[in-house]
Every structure is written in C-alpha cells, then in structure tokens.
Amino acid sequence: MDLGLKGRVAIVAAASKGLGRAVATELAREGAQVAICARHAEGLERAASEIRKATGSEICWQALDVTDASGVPKFVDAVEKRYGRVDICVTNAGGPPAKTFLEISPEEWRAAVDLTLLSAVYFAREVLPRMRKNQWGRLVTITSMSVKQPVDGLLLSNSIRAAVTGLARTLANEFGADGITVNNVCPGYTLTERLDELAEQQAKSAGIPREKIFERWSSQVPLRRLAKPEEFAALVAFLVSERASYINGATIAVDGGWTRSLL
Ligand code: NAP
C-alpha cells in the first residue's frame, strides 16, 4: 500500500529512543522528511544517524525539552524554515513517574501536567495554524492504554493522559474542516527503555526478578507477548498518511487486546 508520505514533512517529539524513534524510523522509511527532538543531543545524533543509514531519508534533530514553552515554537519554526512546511506532528514525551496517590506531591502533579499535557498543547499550538494554512495536516498524540483502562500504580498517567485524549478529540472537531485529522494512539506494554525501568521498579518493590514482571504483563495480554516498538509505529504511519484521510478524532489502542473495553 502506498501511504503517500513521500516528501511530507514530519515532526516526531521525544524520539531518540523507544516509541518516538520507531515512529520516526517508519515515517523516514516511507519517504517523509523527519525532524526529531529529545533532551539529550548525544542520543539524538546517534538515532538520526542510524535512521538515516537504515532508511536513506533525511533526518534533522534538535535537543529540546518538550516542556519548554518557548523552545517548542522555535523548534517548529526551524523545521518549517528548513523544509518549507510542516505536514505531520506526532506528540510524545517521557512517562511521568509511577507512583500511587499519597506518594505524589503537588509539585510532581504540576511537573506531570507540564510533561504529559502541556507539551502536547505547545506542539498543537504551533503546528495547527501552519497546517490550516496548507489545508492539510495530521496530528497524532501518543498517550497510553491507560486512557481506556487505568493501570494500577500509574496514577499520574491514568489521570493526565485522559486530558490529552480530550484535547485531541476536541482539536479533531475544531480543525477537521481544514483538512486536518487529529487522532490519539495508545500504546500497550511495548519493549522500550521506559518499560525496562518500570519492570526494574516493580521487581524491586515486589522482591522478585524482573523477568517475572515481564511474564506477568505478558500473561495479561490476549496475544501473550509484549509489543515491539515497530508494531506501534506501523499504526501511526498509517494514521498520518493519505490513506487514513477519513479517520479523525479516534483513540486507538495498540495493546495486543490488553484493554477489555468494547470500544
Ligand atoms: P523511552 O524508551 O523512555 O523513550 C523516551 C524518549 O523521550 C527518549 O527519546 C527521551 O530522550 C525522550 N524524552 C523524555 N523526556 C523528554 C522531555 N521532557 N523532552 C523531550 N524528550 C523527552 O519511552 P517510551 O517507552 O518510548 O515511551 C514514550 C511514551 O509512551 C511515554 O510517555 C510512556 O510513558 C508512554 N507509554 C509507553 C508504554 C511502553 O510500554 N513503552 C506504554 C504506554 C505508554 P531524552 O531522555 O534524551 O529526553
């Protein structure tokens, strides 16, 4: 299937590792010109060079913390100056800390809102007017299966990602008439560094080996295994393509069937 992504200009946030990197790679493989960011230059440089080598596509990068309200506009501006426009934006960030209610301070709540919700707002504010000018655009927010079914121990994720889902759904209404689709994609347990960290943390507090945590997670998934980042990226690549032109305002899980909801 030709996704029609050749020559499209895409921004993928928080993309030196994990899900973001897998999305950037998939879009580059489809012929898009991709700009990535993350906080650490070293990881970005490595990711960009490996993606370039694997796909033959142009990749540019900039060290940026997605919670930086003035840094995000400068980054989007730089991408537009370099490539002439911005067609696609995939918002993403690191995960908020895994804690239960009484462990979380008000400062941690604020930091998690900055990281998870406001970072998506900053990107949306910059890219949507540009996409409106071109009467074409694709915005995808990356959240979590926790927006469909809360995950025990991930209180900040369970609470704040719901707000991102509400944001995406509302933007889909506000910008649909401009040829822009906005969708939200919810990863399930996917083998990335973030999942390693969560496994380590849970193994320590339960006093069991981390392999047991991975086994426990796998057993909760109807497919009886965890996802590879590429399996997640495949859906995002489709959603930002020409072929997904009538999919708008959707919240789609890539979780192997983990969420037990009907819709
Ligand atoms: P990951 O492997 O830890 O990668 C996170 C990426 O985000 C890295 O490139 C990191 O680079 C970048 N990053 C982190 N904080 C940032 C910030 N403030 N500004 C800019 N870049 C930042 O994580 P992942 O598994 O890909 O997860 C991505 C998102 O999906 C997270 O929010 C995670 O909670 C969520 N999620 C993951 C899973 C899963 O199973 N993997 C499931 C559900 C939801 P730097 O450190 O250099 O900034």
Contact (CB, 8 A) for 66 and 141: no
Q: How does 88-122 read in b/e, with b if 16+ C-beta sit within 10 Å? A: bbbbbbbbbbbbeeeebeeeeeebbbbbbbbbbbb
Pairwise CA distance, residues 129 & 175, whole Å: 9
Judge whether residue 259 has pLDDT over 90: yes
17, 91, 116: which to mutate for ligand 1, most atoms within 8 A of CB?
17
- Give the per-residue pLDDT at 58: 85
Percent of the chain with pLDDT over 90: 97
Length in residues, the chain = 263
CA of 228 to the centre of ligand 1 (A): 15
CA of 8 to the centre of ligand 1 (A): 24
Q: What is the pLDDT of residues 101-115, one digit of tens each?
A: 999 999 999 999 999
Q: What is the pLDDT of residues 120-130, one digit of tens each?
A: 999 999 999 99
Residue matched to tokens 């709540």: 109
Pairwise CA distance, residues 95 & 254, whole Å: 17
Confidence of residue 263 (pLDDT cuts 50, 70, 90): confident
pTM > 0.85: yes or no: yes
Q: Can you tell me the mean pLDDT for 167-178?
A: 98
Closest protein CA for atom 31 of ligand 1: 95
Q: Can you tell me the mean pLDDT for 220-227?
A: 98
Q: Which atom of ligand 1 is nearest to the CA of 142?
A: 30
Judge whether residue 47 has pLDDT over 90: yes
- Where exactly are the structural domains of the chain? 9-189+227-254
Residues in the ligand 1 pocket, defined by CB under 6 Å: 14-20, 37-40, 43, 65-67, 92-95, 115, 142, 144, 187, 189-190, 192-195
- Under DSSP, the state recorded for 116 is I
CA of 261 to the centre of ligand 1 (A): 25
Closest protein CA for atom 36 of ligand 1: 144
Topology of the domain comprising 9-189+227-254: Rossmann fold (3.40.50)
Pairwise CA distance, residues 79 & 8, whole Å: 12
